[in-house]
Amino acid sequence: MKEQINNLRELQEVDLEIDRIDAAITTGDEELQEQRTSIEKLQGAIAEYREKLALGAERRQLLESEVQEAQALIKDRQNKMMKVQTNREYQSLLKEIEDAKNANRQREEELVRLLEQDEYLQKKDEEQSALLVGEEASLAEQTASREAETVKFAAKRQKMNKDREAKAKKIKADLLRKYELIRAKRDGLAMAGVNKGVCYGCYMNVPPQLYNELLREDKMHICPTCNRMLYHSPDKE
């Protein structure tokens, strides 16, 4: 049994290394995805700024046209005032002129606000566009680096898989099945070292009798708390 326990320990070391490789690949992919998401947000913000700029330009064009039309109306009514013969006509023309002037003042105030808004949006557009260029360059660099790392990880994992197959063949079928079941339920850690009566899978004390039996290494034992396969590990810190 001692040999089988050692074989299981070696298998677990290989499995843990494979898990580390897979985790590194996943982490790298997640980092790239975070960069892509950041770029998409920047692109969305820039598109929003530019849409608002376009709408502002349309609104300015409309206001400027209305201002010109109102100025033409004012000039026309001022000319007509020179020819009116009654006070009623005079007052009517005067009111039209005042209304047109008031409307133009409001339009001009809105034009000023639109110009200020456009200045702000243009500045934000330039800032975000510059940031986007940097983010895209960084993503391209990280993607190239990640692809190179993935090739190395894939080669290493292939080698580890072959090593795992060789080590798994040395283990009895029933023990291997139990190991695989526990590993699947216990976050990849099927075996736990025990030192001075403490299981280093769950950090709980094992019964003294179980610990004494564990020292003999003539039988596979299971932790009563975390249900992991146990082995004596005198060098465990």
* Domains parsed from the chain with CATH numbers: 17-170 (1.10.287.1490), 174-232 (no CATH)
Cβ atoms of 21 and 190 closer than 8 Å = no
Q: pLDDT value at position 237?
A: 44
Q: Please tell me the distance from the alpha carbon of residue 14 to that of residue 17, in angstroms, as a whole number.
A: 5
- State the virtual CA torsion across 223, 228, 231, 235 in degrees, nearest 10: -100
The residue type of 199 is C
Specify whether the backbone of 217 is left (phi greater than 0), alpha (psi in -120 to 50) or beta.
left
Buried b (16+ CB within 10 A) or exposed e, 162-181: ebbeebbeebeeebbebbee
pLDDT in tens, the chain (237 residues): 889 999 999 999 999 999 999 998 888 899 999 999 999 999 999 999 999 999 999 999 999 999 999 999 999 999 999 888 899 999 999 999 999 999 999 999 999 999 999 999 999 999 999 999 999 999 999 999 989 998 999 999 999 999 999 999 999 999 999 999 999 999 899 999 999 899 999 999 999 999 999 888 889 999 999 999 999 988 654
Nearest-angstrom CA–CA distance, 189 and 85:
104
Q: For residues 161 and 51, is the Cβ–Cβ distance under 8 A?
A: no
pTM exceeds 0.75: no
Query: In terms of Cα–Cα distance, which of 75, 53, 26 is closest to 128?
Result: 53
The Cα–Cα gap between 219 and 212 comes to: 12
Q: Give the span between the Cα atoms of 84 and 191, in whole angstroms.
A: 107
The confidence score (pLDDT) of residue 85 equals: 84
For residue 136 the two structure tokens come to 């895209």
- Per the CB < 8 A criterion, the answer to whether 5 and 179 are in contact is no
Which burial class, exposed, middle or buried, applies to 182 when counting CB atoms under 10 A from its CB (0-12, 13-18, 19+)? buried
